[in-house]
Amino acid sequence: MIAVDTNIVIAYLGDEPSVVNRIESAVSSGETVIVPTVVIAETFAYPYIDEALTTRIHNWLDTGVMIKSFDLPLAERSATIRRATKIKLTDCIIAATALAYGAPLATRDQQFKKVPDLTILAW
Tens-level pLDDT at each residue, the chain (123 residues): 999 999 999 999 999 999 999 999 998 899 999 999 999 999 999 888 899 999 999 998 988 899 999 999 999 999 999 999 999 999 999 999 999 999 999 999 999 999 999 999 988
Compute the distance between CA of residue 34 and CA of residue 37 in angstroms, rounded to an integer. Answer: 9
CA 65 – CA 35 distance, rounded (Å) = 7
Cβ–Cβ contacts within 10 Å for residue 41, how many?
13
**pLDDT of amino acid 64:** 80
Distance set, CA 85 to CA 38, 72, 88, 114 (Å): 19, 20, 9, 6
Element (H, E) at 68: strand 66-68
> Which class does domain 2-122 fall in?
alpha beta
User: How does DSSP classify residue 63?
Assistant: T
For the chain, give every domain's residue range.
Answer: 2-122
Those residues whose C-beta lies under 8 Å from the C-beta of residue 40, and which sit 6 or more positions away, are 57, 61, 67
